[in-house]
A and B are shown apart, each in its own frame.
Chain A
Amino acid sequence: KQEVTQIPAALSVPEGENLVLNCSFTDSAIYNLQWFRQDPGKGLTSLLLIQSSQREQTSGRLNASLDKSSGRSTLYIAASQPGDSATYLCAVSGNFNKFYFGSGTKLNVKP
C-alpha cells in the first residue's frame, strides 16, 4: 500500500522567509502528485498538480517539484506571508485518481 510521509509535521517561520515542505512516497508508480492547502474547519484547496511525466509546476510564489524515481516532492514557498498559515497536504494518486494523503505540515507564518 502506498505510504505518504510529510516532514516536518509543523513549521513556524517569520514573515518573508522562503521555506520548503517535504513529501515522500513509497510506491513510485503514481499518476500524479497534488499539493493542497487546508484551513481550520475548511475543505482542501488545490495548489499545484504535477503529472507523473512532469518535474515541476509553478503558481505565483509556489513551486512544486517531483522526483518520481526517488519518491520525493517538495513545495517551495517564496516570501512567506501570514496568510500562508495553514496545513499543507501532499497527495499522490494511483489508479482511478484516488489519492493517498500525507498527514500534513502545519505552517505558521509570524508577522
Chain B
Amino acid sequence: GAGVSQTPSNKVTEKGKYVELRCDPISGHTALYWYRQSLGQGPEFLIYFQGTGAADDSGLPNDRFFAVRPEGSVSTLKIQRTERGDSAVYLCASSLRGLAGLTDTQYFGPGTRLTVL
C-alpha cells in the first residue's frame, strides 16, 4: 500500500514569509510525528499527534511553529515569519498505535526540503 507522503518535496521561501508543509500518513495510523533534520545531523523531534490531538509538542523550537491534524489523518506543519535557521529537511512519520508503553515501527516520508533565503 501507499507509504507516508509529504508535499511539497522542496520549498524555497524568503525570510519572513509563512509556509505550510503537508504530511499524509499511512491509512489507519493513529500516531503521527514531525521531525526536523539539519545537514549532517540526525532528525530532531518536533511534535507527536495521537489522533487529532498533539500529545507532545515539546520539540517545537518556538511559537513560530505550529502543527495541526484536524481529522486525525493529514497533518500540516506551519511556520510563521520564517528565518534562515529554519532551513532543513522536515520529516513526517506515522505508526499504527504510538501509545505510551507500546512499540511499533515508525514509517517515514521522503521529507520536505525547506530553504529560507
Residues of A within 8 A of B (CB): 4, 31-32, 34, 36, 42-46, 49, 51-52, 89, 91, 93, 95-104
Q: Which residues of A contact B62 (CB under 8 A)?
A: none
User: CB within 8 Å of A: which of B81-109?
Assistant: 91, 93, 95, 98-109
**How many residues on B have C-beta within 8 angstroms of the other chain's C-beta atoms?**
32
Residues of B within 8 A of A (CB): 4, 31, 33, 35, 40-45, 48, 50, 55-56, 59, 91, 93, 95, 98-111
Closest to B103 in A: A32
Give the residue of A42, A43, A46, A96 whose beta carbon is less than 8 angstroms from that of B48. A96
Q: Which residues of B contact A102 (CB under 8 A)?
A: 42
Q: Which residues of B contact A45 (CB under 8 A)?
A: 108
Report the bound CA distance from A32 to B105 in whole Å.
10
Closest to A49 in B: B105
- Central interface residue in A32, A99, A102, A104, by most chain B CB within 10 Å: A99
> Could you tell me if B42 and A96 are in contact, using CB atoms closer than 8 angstroms?
no
- Central interface residue in B44, B45, B109, by most chain A CB within 10 Å: B45
> Could you tell me if B106 and A96 are in contact, using CB atoms closer than 8 angstroms?
no
Cβ distance B30 to chain A, nearest Cβ, rounded Å? 11
Report 16 cross-chain contacts, Cβ distance below 8 Å, ordered by A residue.
Answer: A44-B108, A46-B106, A51-B103, A52-B103, A89-B43, A96-B48, A96-B50, A97-B99, A97-B103, A97-B106, A98-B33, A98-B48, A99-B33, A101-B35, A102-B42, A103-B40
Give the residue of A31, A32, A42 whose beta carbon is less than 8 angstroms from that of B110. A42
Cβ distance B44 to chain A, nearest Cβ, rounded Å? 7
> Could you tell me if A44 and B43 are in contact, using CB atoms closer than 8 angstroms?
yes
Report the bound CA distance from A45 to B91 in whole Å.
12
Q: Which residues of A contact B50 (CB under 8 A)?
A: 96
Cβ distance B1 to chain A, nearest Cβ, rounded Å? 16
Cβ distance B17 to chain A, nearest Cβ, rounded Å? 24
